[in-house]
Structure formats: C-alpha cells, structure tokens
Amino acid sequence: MSQGADTKPNKTSSNRFVIGAMIISLSIILDQISKLLVELYLPFGEVIPVIPSFAMYRTWNEGVAFSFLSGHESSALVALAIVVVGVVIWLWKSSPKERVWLSAGYAMIIGGAIGNIIDRGLYGHVVDFVMVYYQGWSFAIFNIADCFITLGVVLIIWDEFWSAYKARTTPQNDTNS
C-alpha cells in the first residue's frame, strides 16, 4: 500500500514555518546590527544627508508607532508588544498553509516587533534613524524593524486582495485549484 497524503507530514506547513523563522531571524539580525552601528557612529540628533529627501538622524522613540504612548512605562510597552506578537503568531498559525505571502508578511511583522522589543528591553526606548523628508516636511523617523513591519502589513493586504480576486475569478465547480 502506498503512502497517502494524510500519512506523511505536511511539507507546506513545516516549510512555511522554517522559511518564516529564517525571515524572522534575518529581520532581527539586520535591525539589531543597523541599530548597533547607529548607536556607535551616528551623532544623536544630527541630520546626516544621504541623498535628496533621505537622511540619517539618530533619535530615540519612547512610545510605540509614531511615538504614540510616549511617557508610559517601558515595561508596559514591552508587555503590550509581546501580546501583539502573540496575536500575530496565532493569526499566522491559523492562516491557510498555501498562502505564502501571508506567511511571509506575518513573519516580517513578528521579526520587526521582536527587534523593537529587544531595544526596549536593552535601552528602555527604540532606536530610530531613517529620515525621509521633503523641504520643510519630514515623515516620522523610523528603523529597519519598522520597515519589516510595514512590508509585512503590505504583503498581508496584498495577499488578502489576491486571495479575494482568485476566489471571485475561479469557477465554483473547479475543485482542482
């Protein structure tokens, strides 16, 4: 008797978590190395132009996104971030296994969040240093972890739209897709 699909491990499921762990690890490593270099070599509060409308500017974020909740105890913000990571992990584990972009998006969010949690645990604040500006206007200063979180959200939204499109355009009686 040949082995059926139900008797062997689900390769898609285990692969997505292995790839996810790699994405999480890569995002944490890139984030922490960049922040270490910024803390060692970039003067605090000084704009260092890189190209037009893009500069390095070392600052500390004592709140969460866009300095929201600034002034709250760092340990409370770490606890809140850990709860958020737990929710994202739960969403990831309960998501459809074949949706690769969705899994990648969740992994990026988790990695970015953990990168910022590490900062809060080590320093009591998050190290931010990327500045995007135009003339007198500047977007919020951010870091590599924030980039991973944002890209993760974009991938999840894209995957949701793509999934809805596929569901709408796939014939209902087609069971092979």
**Measuring CA to CA, which residue among 142, 151, 126, 120 is closest to residue 26?**
151
Centre a 10 Å sphere on the Cβ of residue 15 and count the other Cβ atoms it contains. 13
Contacts of 76 (CB under 8 A, 6+ apart): none
Catalytic amino acids? Answer: 128, 146
Indicate the pTM of the whole model.
0.82
**Cα–Cα distance for residue pair 68/89, rounded to 1 Å:** 23
pLDDT for res 72: 53
**Measuring CA to CA, which residue among 60, 34, 33 is closest to residue 45?**
60
| φ and ψ at residue 58, rounded to 5 degrees | -75, 125
Residue 10: beta bridge partners?
Answer: none
- Per-residue tens of pLDDT for the chain, all 177 residues: 444 444 455 665 678 889 999 999 999 999 999 999 999 999 999 999 999 999 999 999 876 655 555 555 666 767 888 899 999 999 999 999 889 999 999 999 999 999 999 998 888 889 999 999 999 898 889 999 999 999 999 999 999 999 999 888 888 765 555
pLDDT for res 70: 53
User: In 111-154, at which residue ranges do the beta strands (DSSP E only) sit?
Assistant: 126-134, 137-138
Residue 56: beta bridge partners?
Answer: 48, 130
Domain boundaries, the chain: 15-169
